[in-house]
Amino acid sequence: MRTEEPGVRSSRWRAVETQAVAWLAARRDLLDPRHTHPDRVLFTRKALIETAFLVGLRARLDDAPLTGDYAALLEQVEEVARQPSYREMIPRDEAALLLYAGTYAALRLCGREDLEFRRLIQQAVDGGYAAAFERIPYRQLDLLHTLHVCGIAHDLPTMDEVLPFTLLCRRPNVLKLTDRDVYAITHTIFYVTDFGRREPVWPEGYDPREGVELVEALLVLAEGRANADLTGELLCCLYSLGVTDACTEDRAWAYLESVQEDSGRVNGPEGVVHPGIDSGDDHYRRWAEAYHTTIVAALAGMLARSTRRRPVTARRNPPAALRLETPLRSAVVWLCEASLPQDPRTGLAGVAAAALGAAAIDEHDLVQPALQYYAARLADADPAFWQEQGMEVVGEFALALRAADVACPSLNGFLKAAADAVGSLTTIPVDIADGVHRLHALGFVPASTAAAIPRQNAHREPPHYPLHAALALREALENYHLGQLAATIRTLVHQGHGPHRITQDAIAFLVAQQNTDGAFGHPATDEPTARRKAQYSWTRSAVTALATAVERRDVIATG
Amino acid sequence: MSCPPSVDARKALDFLRTSGLVDLSVPLERVVGQVSQLDDVAGYVLAWERYVLVVANEVAADAATPSDN
């Protein structure tokens, strides 16, 4: 919900841009490769073209003449570019054509045509290497976009022909993407949309709204990791795609505003600069760590106020959710069979999870033999056994026995004693609400006791995707911690976040860990006991998460 | 002020609080350390950003000592 008038918000974002450009302009001397330490020359050239691009885009997106700090930056770019030590690197360092051509593009866009600079670039492009060697797709798009804004003729495949090979168009799993992958996506969007000025020809079958969904999911992860650089780039992507979702936009801006320093500086992510590049020079290090993120923040402000962006793209409906019944069924069958030889201390949770899974797909018969077997084994179990298992496991087991009309005397006696203990309490803590509701469902406590505890509203969709949960999913994938993954999925589904792209990708990853026999997980060890133990644990956790997802119909494809 | 729960009631509370359907223990040692890191294996760097940062010193060193050719 917006709390400010649009004009107030846009003026605040304009202030972010203004302060960021002021900070950059005040340090423009650091953009001159002639005056930098030899170890920093390439880094400086990179910063120079990125700054030049910012200025060039300012000229393209805003008709007002360049003044003040933008003009100062342009003067610096022009001063460097006119030197032979810079422009003659084009024929000398053809592999790095993009390091130099972008500078020319900016000058041209700002009305500072330089025909000799242009001739050098055209000559390199017409030669047999600079534009010819193989680049990964988004860098090929970088080349094509740069040549476009340079106005340089070429006979290379078009951007739309390269686009199908990019990561953006392959529907990646957001939780697997590294920072480098995300930069490949953001830059692909910048180039193929020409920062919002061009409508790409998307590959056949690709819905560009998938890209919006991907960017929004990546924004959650970037903010969760406190990465202002990616947050800024992804916000620029939303503008480039023509999307201005108020909620996503406001959240990204609030984060950027919160991390911008009073000087206008926006610090980059940790480790962004090569450790040896600052040589102990704190002034340089602070600039080197922040210049790119500060440029990105300024670019976001520029795009936010641009009137030349394309019309807003409609958002698409929630993605088609995964079909989970078949993997869940085969996992339940495996879990039941694997439970029989287990020690009940570890096996009961598996049987209870299997029962939960079978109930979710309405195939109670699948667990009948395992339930009967465990009920018989545990008919005289000590109360300490049930105590150790906890209510979640015991409750599911008891509910399944009830549905299957199977008796377990020791369990009934234990639950009755637990209910009596609850009845003796003057107040019932909220954190045992689920357990008490289970006792009520089993008929051990009266409705009045259960009604006295406020139910948590599990179906209310919170406004924002929880950052900590997104990070937990990512960490679980990195560490192959399928139990943590399953637990987080389950919580997110309960909270109403099941249809979100991040949750769906987490579920897709989990399902992809299933073996053909129904078990979950790839232990990557040859030791049979360890394999069995790991898969029993993972399958029990996976079944629990998938059962929850199936029960919440909002994550099941309706078609 | 309510009385503290009896021992039996406390055990019941512990029991009712305990969840266990999902196993949060790590059943197997991490194996991700064995997973190949593309950059290490391939011996080259894919991204241009890395190119600029990683080879900066080498290129600068070459520039500082011009060849005799």
Q: Which of residues 158-217 of A touch B (CB under 8 A)?
A: 180, 183
Chain B residue whose CA is closest to A89: B63
Q: Is residue A501 in some structural domain?
A: no
Torsion of Cα atoms, A32 then A55 then A118 then A163, to 10°: 110
Residue written as tokens 């001063």?
A79
Q: Which of residues 230-269 of A touch B (CB under 8 A)?
A: none
Q: Which chain A residues are closer than 8 Å to B59 by Cβ?
A: 41-42
Chain B residue whose CA is closest to A426: B2
Degrees, nearest 5: CA angle B9-B11-B14: 110
Gap between the Cα atoms of A488 and A509, Å rounded:
13
Q: Which chain A residues are closer than 8 Å to B53 by Cβ?
A: 43, 273-274, 277
Q: Is residue A463 in some structural domain?
A: no
pLDDT tens digits, A328-378: 999 999 999 999 999 999 999 999 999 999 999 999 999 999 999 999 999
Closest CA to A419 of A444, A450, A386: A444
Closest CA to A474 of A485, A490, A486, A462: A485
Gap between the Cα atoms of A181 and A166, Å rounded:
10
Closest CA to A235 of A253, A210, A261, A260: A253
The answer to whether A432 faces chain B, any CB pair under 8 Å, is yes
The pLDDT of residue A312: 60
**Contact state of B22 with A393 under an 8 Å Cβ cutoff:** no
Classify burial at A304, counting beta carbons within 10 Å of its beta carbon; exposed 0-12, middle 13-18, buried 19 or more: buried
Domain ranges, ordered by start, for chain B = 36-69
CATH number at residue A166: 1.50.10
pLDDT tens digits, B20-36: 999 988 766 555 555 54
The ipTM, to two decimals, is 0.76
The pLDDT of residue A464: 87
Gap between the Cα atoms of A295 and A552, Å rounded:
44
Gap between the Cα atoms of A381 and A19, Å rounded:
71
Q: Is residue A233 in some structural domain?
A: yes
Structure token pair of residue B11: 């055990």
What's the number of domains chain A is made of?
A: 1
Q: What is the DSSP letter of A320?
A: P
**Containing domain of residue A289, as a range?**
6-305
**Contact state of B12 with A534 under an 8 Å Cβ cutoff:** no
Low-confidence ranges of chain A (pLDDT < 50): 1-2, 555-559
Q: Is residue A29 in some structural domain?
A: yes
DSSP string for residues in A368-405: HHHHHHHHHHTTT--HHHHHHH-HHHHHHHHHHHHHHT
Closest CA to A45 of A84, A91, A81, A82: A81
Gap between the Cα atoms of A271 and B50, Å rounded:
12
Q: Is residue A519 in some structural domain?
A: no
Residues in chain B: 69
Instruction: For residue A41, give the nearest of B25, B34, B60 by CB distance.
Output: B60
The pLDDT of residue A290: 95
Task: Write out the residues of chain B at the interface with chain A, using a CB-CB cutoff of 8 A.
Answer: 2-3, 5-6, 8-9, 11-28, 30-32, 34, 46-50, 52-57, 59-61, 63-64
The pLDDT of residue A453: 72
Residue A66 · residue A74 · CB < 8 Å: yes
How many CB atoms are located within 10 Å of the residue A60 CB?
18
A470 Cβ contact partners less than 8 Å away, ≥ 6 residues apart: A220, A221, A224, A502
Residue A484 · residue A476 · CB < 8 Å: yes
Gap between the Cα atoms of A351 and A158, Å rounded:
57
Instruction: For residue A435, give the nearest of B3, B17, B52 by CB distance.
Output: B17
Gap between the Cα atoms of A358 and A518, Å rounded:
14
Q: Which chain A residues are closer than 8 Å to B66 by Cβ?
A: none
- SS3 of A254-281: the string is HHHHHHECCCCCECCCCCCCCHHHCCCC
Q: Is residue A363 in some structural domain?
A: no
C-alpha distance from residue A247 to each of A8, A46, A233, A235, A465 (Å): 16, 34, 17, 12, 11
Residue A438 · residue A399 · CB < 8 Å: yes
Closest CA to A260 of A451, A436, A61, A12: A12
State the greatest distance between any 2 C-alpha atoms of chain B, in Å, as a whole number: 93
The answer to whether A353 faces chain B, any CB pair under 8 Å, is yes
Residue A357 · residue A349 · CB < 8 Å: no
- SS3 of A417-474: the string is HHHHHHHCCCCCCHHHHHHHHHHHHCCCCCHHHHHCCCCCCCCCCCCCCCHHHHHHHH
A11 Cβ contact partners less than 8 Å away, ≥ 6 residues apart: none
